[in-house]
Amino acid sequence: MGNFMMRYKERYLVDENGNRIGVFLDIADYQKLLEKLEELEAICAYDAAKDSDDEAIPSEMAIALFPQSQPHMRAL
């Protein structure tokens, strides 16, 4: 997963009283942050599935349950 503790060059948006109300990130930092969030969501989904009492089924069977008209669901 790599180094999760990344440093970002954030700039803050402040209100008239100097309170931080928003943040600006470079687009590259924002994209890296989204990638890390996606990794974390996948890990959480895996952990939740592993901890559930649901029966595991082979991937071929799971793929067969979905209509083939959905190109993003096709087996590689």
Q: Is residue 37 part of a domain?
A: yes
Q: Is residue 23 part of a domain?
A: yes
Q: Is residue 76 part of a domain?
A: no
Q: Is residue 33 part of a domain?
A: yes
Q: Is residue 46 part of a domain?
A: yes
Residue 76's pLDDT is what?
47
Q: Is residue 42 part of a domain?
A: yes
Report the C-alpha gap between 45 and 37 in whole angstroms: 12
Look up the domain containing 20 and give its range: 11-71
Instruction: Please give the tally of structural domains in the chain.
Output: 1
Q: Is residue 34 part of a domain?
A: yes
Query: How far are the Cα atoms of 9, 19, 22, 56, 75 from residue 29, in angstroms, in the given order?
Result: 8, 23, 16, 37, 32
What residue ranges of the chain have pLDDT lower than 50? 1, 73-76
**Verdict on whether the full-model pTM lies above 0.75:** no
Token pair in block for residue 41: 């969501």
